Amino acid sequence: MAGKEDLHKPLQLKGVKKLFKKGLKEKKEALKGVSLQIERGEIFGLLGPNGAGKSTLVKIALGLIIPSEGEVLLNGHNPSKPQAKKGVGYLPEHFRPPSRLTPETFMAFAGEMGSLSDNPLSPTDALTLVGLERSAWSRQMRRLSKGMLQRVGLASVLVHRPSFIILDEPLSGLDPIGRHDVKELLMQFNAQGGTIFLNSHILADIGNLCHRVGILHQGSLLFVGKIEELLAKTGRAQLEEAFLAMVKGEKDA
């Protein structure tokens, strides 16, 4: 995995703005100048209520949405360039793999789709890694539970042995056991040197997982730093209270 990309930060955003056109005249400023850097080897959590602009930010990072203003570097490259995506995995929000395929068939597809790494995992190894029970491997995915589908989604990201994964709300819609398992998986990935950027609107998930967090509210990044720093800054004992204080403070201002 040692290569040129290690010299660059996994992700750098500078003054990123995004203006969506809604209808003829109406416009929506989803991001109002966001600057952010992700360090190699960390787990970074972007927190924010629904509609804050988290998904927009992530899609801009991957070149799926073109920012109205600002600079984006993914692995040191413009994200629209193929080499920027080397070693990067992404799981979209509400991802559902094709309902008529089985996890095995889908993994064969996902594996070939982005064969960037020199030694990708085999589809079955990836399914084992995410802990999908073997009896589900050959069942059509419309018959699988949401937790199982999320595992398949993660497997399709991990199959390339990425060094940096971007996950949009990876824990939403999972039951407590599912959350626990996915978190465990993410920590394991991180322990082996992987970098993680994840979005969430559920604070409880983030607390014991992320090294650093960012708080995004109505398109502005209100805070970036360690959770302890956030608690100290707001003078609260709980992440949830600190988050509310941050977001409410913005509203009053």
Ligand X SMILES: Nc1ncnc2c1ncn2[C@@H]1O[C@H](COP(=O)(O)OP(=O)(O)O)[C@@H](O)[C@H]1O
Q: What is the DSSP string of 6-34?
A: GGS-SEEEEEEEEEEE-SSS-EEEEEEEE
143 touches other proteins (CB under 8 A): no
Q: Which stretch binds other proteins (CB under 8 A): 59-67, 172-180, 216-224, 241-249?
A: 59-67
CB 48 to ligand X: min, Å: 5
User: 209, 171, 216: which is closest to 190 by C-alpha?
Assistant: 209
Distance CA 11, CA 191 (A): 19
Which position among 15, 49, 98, 207 is part of the footprint of other proteins (CB under 8 A)? Answer: 98
114 binds other proteins (CB under 8 A): yes
CA distance 186 to 36: 22
- Binder among 94, 146, 226, 248 for other proteins (CB under 8 A): 94
Phi-psi region at 143: left, alpha or beta (left = phi > 0; alpha = psi -120 to 50): alpha
Nearest to 90 by CA among 185, 197, 182: 197
Taking the least distance from each CB to ligand X, the nearer of 48 and 103 is 48
> Using the rule CB under 8 A, which residue among 7, 22, 25, 82 binds other proteins?
82
Q: Which of 13, 16, 91, 132 binds other proteins (CB under 8 A)?
A: 91
Residues of this chain that bind ligand X (CB under 6 A): 20, 22, 28, 30, 48, 50-56
